[in-house]
Amino acid sequence: MTPQISDVLVPETFRFGYGDTTLGTILVAESAHGVVALFIGDVRAKLRGDLEDAFPNIELVLDQEGLAQTIAKARALVDAPHCGTDLALDMRGSPMEMAIWDALRTIPSGETRPYGAIARDLPIMATAQDVGAACAANRIAIAVPCHRVVKSDGSISGYRWGVQRKRRLINMEGVA
């Protein structure tokens, strides 16, 4: 049987672009449904490589001009996380990750929550380690606020984009 054109899988396409913020360079990637990635770093090539690693079967198209408004909103969020954002998000993860990310999005700016407390409050069974793993897997910095998650004693632990950035974000939001 000869394959038909409709049988060929066309890879999904993400448009992406870069911006500069007070916390470093950001890479913003967008699907047809919203932002799928907001990465923070120092080197554009590394950020692009991280995007390729996170979404290996996606076609990536640099579209700096077409994403100008989305990048501007992402820059504003990074530079003033306490102001929130109206960015449309396309969060992609397992059911547990999605539940954890949804819970993180309910933590008000200026507040933090321990990993274990988030796990206990979820509608599904989860551990503090599950919360930590979901934070590490989060691809949408700040809009999914993993930086608001702390150890049970209130101290700061790991952050995908660096503990220094996590500390700065918490301070920018006015957490004591």
Annotated catalytic residues are 146
Buried b (16+ CB within 10 A) or exposed e, 15-50: bbbbbeeebbbbbbbbbeeebbbbbbbeeeeebbeb
Question: What's the per-residue H, E or C state across 74-109?
Answer: HHHHHHCHHHCCCCCECCCCCHHHHHHHHHHCCCCC
